[in-house]
Structure 1
Amino acid sequence: MENLINDGAFLVDVRSAAEFAEGHVKGSVNIPVDQVQSQLAKFKDKKHIVVFCRSGMRSSQAKSTLERNGFTNVTNGGTWQSVNSFINK
């Protein structure tokens, strides 16, 4: 996953706006999991997409939603802290 992040992956935090406000990965965008379906245009033309949340459950749902809509370049990054650890290297 580190190579994807270093290669400029689209980093999407699928937690709620309130959770995102409490702390998030630098450079990530917040698209809560329940809004992924209605925000598909934001994912178009991205080389790679990394989705993540608090525990990995919501990001798994987001990955499934994106894949059902034809996206094949999605990685479940798990927790936001895990993704964040690669940013700060």
Structure 2
Amino acid sequence: MVGNDRREHIRTAMSAKVKVVHAEQGEFIFSTRDISDGGVFIVVDTEPFTPSLGDKVTVQVQGLPVPAPVLEMVVVRKTNDGYGLQFDQNGD
């Protein structure tokens, strides 16, 4: 690890459309900025999406020839342009 970067997984730039569903806030379509073995970063610019850290969401990649799996994720980071989501290892 270099400097303040505490990530344990290497990020790969990837732009894809994903459907994000939050229990209280509803369903949204966002673009991803990057993905890693640990999670994904979604770009949130104009949508009124304001989850709290620790909130659980489901995420599904859109636009594939067959439906992608729905993945359980946890909001772990907020920046000026979006949120870092981590794959939910507990599956609660």
TM-score by length of 2: 0.25
Ranked by relative contact order (alpha carbons within 8 Å, sequence separation 6 or more), the top structure is 1
TM-score by length of 1: 0.25
